[in-house]
Amino acid sequence: TIKLAARVQAVKPSATLAITARAKALRAAGKDVIGLGAGEPDFDTPDHIKTAAIAAIQAGFTKYTAVDGTTELKQAVIDKFKRENGLEYAQDQILVSCGGKQSFFNLAQALLDPGDEVVIPAPYWVSYPDMVLLASGAPVLIHAGAEQSFKITPAQLKGALNEKSRLFVINSPSNPTGMAYRRDELEALGEVLRDYPKVVIATDDMYEHIRWSSTPFVNILNVCPDLAPRTLVLNGVSKAYSMTGWRIGYAGGPAEIIKAMKKVQSQSTSNPTSISQVAAQAALEGPQECIGVMRTAFHERHDFVVERLNQIPGIDCLPTDGTFYVFPRVQGLIERLPGVGNDLELAEYLIEQAGVAIVPGSAFGLNGYMRISIATSRANLEQALERIAKLAG
């Protein structure tokens, strides 16, 4: 056997991608499996975006670009931050990467020395802790269950920070919980962070546009502008414009950190795909109606799913603020089902006995829950919940 690096052995492959692959394999084997594991919108990329990409290919825009993205796309990102978030950035404060995932990967590589601590609220997006481990950092998790609407308190944040803390990650609205921090909650977290000036803050705003509330989106930097010299804003086109396969994410932040992240990227992938950059520019600069169409569909499905889940014995589901996930507590269901002792076994049981693929909560750092993706048709959702209800009795 080949000896692999310790850093690889320390991380797990993405659990969400594994469930999706498992559902696909069962389906290929002829089994009727409804996939509620998807981490991507079930809509097509809007036509005007595809058209821009096709034109780019035909015009020969198929070569290397600047590592950090074309000037035109970076300007579109700058304009987006200004228009939608009230944030001002210069060209040297923006880095375009191969998805939001690479943005965070670059950040972890640029910032962390062995043993440096990264404070991550749990439940978390599956990739944060593993990308921290790949950078030899140490994830420090703060647990926030349904009883606190999956949001950490200022006291918990204070308890997790110390002189080894290098980075704090906040994702709002959250994958997997769908919860968003309110302005006053962000203000209170910012107040704690003011006492730890060496801590860099990463706000992951990937689900900014998938929100039900009519109040404007806010992140911690909007509420605490004094944190700007050490705050990175991470975002991308994957979820807002249904462009997951194009692989474009971007970061805005202090020039010094952006420059270090760019250096990491220059020695790994170089620039993100030239064609995708043109597509992302069309997404950011073009008509924005497509966002509202998807948001409305997700909202309607959300209302249906939350109500239906709460009718099933052993399941308690909070309504969310946004995203295309819900994160019900399923401890009661686990206790009702024969041979099922935890949420991992529940996921196994549901895929085998009901033909429904979900991701267990423990994949996101919280046992006794499951993540249901509503990025699938209403008919699929109805059928899947019917099957789960039948099992629950």
Name the residues that contact ligand PLP, by CB under 6 A: 39, 99-101, 125, 171, 175, 204, 206, 236, 238, 244, 249
Which CA distances in Å does 164 have to 115, 117, 144, 159, 234?
8, 6, 22, 13, 23
Q: Which is nearer to ligand PLP, 81 or 125 (CB)?
A: 125
- Smallest distance from ligand PLP to CB 125, Å: 4
Which CA distances in Å does 143 have to 116, 265, 312, 368, 381?
20, 32, 26, 13, 29
Q: Which is nearer to ligand PLP, 232 or 315 (CB)?
A: 232
3-state secondary structure 158-173: HHHCCCCEEEEEEECC
- Smallest distance from ligand PLP to CB 237, Å: 7
Residue with the closest Cβ to ligand PLP?
99
- Smallest distance from ligand PLP to CB 175, Å: 4
Q: Which is nearer to ligand PLP, 206 or 351 (CB)?
A: 206
Query: How many helices and strands in the chain, by DSSP H and E?
Result: 15, 12
- Smallest distance from ligand PLP to CB 293, Å: 20
Q: By the 8 A CB rule, do 157 and 142 touch?
A: yes
Block residue for tokens 């889940």: 309
Q: Which is nearer to ligand PLP, 121 or 190 (CB)?
A: 121
Which CA distances in Å does 131 have to 37, 46, 136, 138?
21, 31, 9, 10
Q: Which is nearer to ligand PLP, 207 or 212 (CB)?
A: 207
Is beta strand 34-35 parallel, antiparallel or unpaired with respect to 356-357? parallel
- Smallest distance from ligand PLP to CB 187, Å: 22
Burial class for 113, CB neighbours closer than 10 Å (0-12, 13-18, 19+):
exposed
Q: Which is nearer to ligand PLP, 165 or 276 (CB)?
A: 276
Q: By the 8 A CB rule, do 388 and 350 touch?
A: yes
Angle at 126 between CA 293 and CA 152, to 5 degrees: 85
- Smallest distance from ligand PLP to CB 323, Å: 8
- Smallest distance from ligand PLP to CB 30, Å: 29
Q: Which is nearer to ligand PLP, 135 or 388 (CB)?
A: 135
- Smallest distance from ligand PLP to CB 243, Å: 8
Q: By the 8 A CB rule, do 137 and 175 touch?
A: no
Measured CA to CA, the distance from residue 325 to residue 179 in angstroms comes to 10
Q: Which is nearer to ligand PLP, 203 or 331 (CB)?
A: 203
Q: Is the peptide bond before 123 cis (omega within 30 degrees of 0)?
A: yes
Task: Collapse the DSSP code of 144 into the 3-class scheme (helix H, G, I; strand E, B; otherwise coil) and give the result.
Answer: coil
